[in-house]
Amino acid sequence: MIELIVLLSLLGVGFIAGRIAEKRHYASILIREAELASLLIVPSKHPPVLDQPPDTRLVHGSVVVSVDYFKQFVAGLRMIFGGRLVSYESLLDRARREAILRMKSRARNCSASMVFNVKLETASISKGSRDTIGSIEVYAYGTAIIPRDGV
């Protein structure tokens, strides 16, 4: 009986703490996306044609986001029955958006006007001996276009 109470308590704490952290992170993401909206990112391999060749620089952004206990528990149940792991989808969305924001921030710091050839890489980081996701890493990178004076 005590084990059940501990499990339910951990699930409750995980759910509440995870929701609060996720809402705060999304609020931060929305503010920074609005601030960096003018800096374009383009997945195209070919840079724009300009009158004068610009300077370029590789820019990147990386983030590791942890899975809260509640989402891990729900995903474990879903794996038994099959179907979409909705509890992990918001985790991936936050990680992807955060990595892109960090890349855009680095591009803005070097006075870039856009970032082209943007790519995303993901990796799951397992904890313990079980094959569960402990956290997810997303790495965003691209080539920053830095206009030269007079362009």
Number of domains making up the chain: 1
Instruction: Say which range, 55-64, 81-90, 119-128, 140-149, has the weakest mean pLDDT.
Output: 81-90
Tell me the pLDDT band of 57, cut-offs 50, 70 and 90.
Answer: very high
pTM: 0.82
User: Using CA atoms in the order 26, 29, 33, 34, what is the torsion angle rounded to 10 degrees?
Assistant: 70
pLDDT tens digits, 1-33:
888 888 888 878 878 887 888 899 999 999 999
Residue 48 covered by a domain = yes
Residue with tokens 């997945």: 43
Domain with 98, as residue range(s), is: 2-146
Q: How confident is the model at residue 142 (pLDDT cuts 50, 70, 90)?
A: very high
Mean pLDDT across the stretch 75-95? 79
Return the pLDDT at 130.
Answer: 59
Q: Which residue has the tokens 């790495």?
A: 139
Q: What is the pLDDT of residue 128?
A: 58
Q: What is the pLDDT of residue 133?
A: 62
Q: Per-residue b/e over 60-73, b at no fewer than 16 CB within 10 Å?
A: bbebebbbbbbbbb
Domain membership flag for residue 124? yes
Question: Is 60's pLDDT higher than 50?
Answer: yes
Specify the CATH number for the domain of residue 69. 3.30.110.70
Q: What stretches of the chain show up as alpha helix (H) in DSSP?
A: 2-35, 69-81, 86-109
Please report whether residue 119 resides in a domain.
Answer: yes
Backbone angles phi, psi at 117, to 5 degrees: 55, 45
Q: 3-state class of 20 per DSSP?
A: helix
Of 74, 76, 39, 79, the closest CA to residue 59 belongs to 39
- Does 151 fall in a domain? no
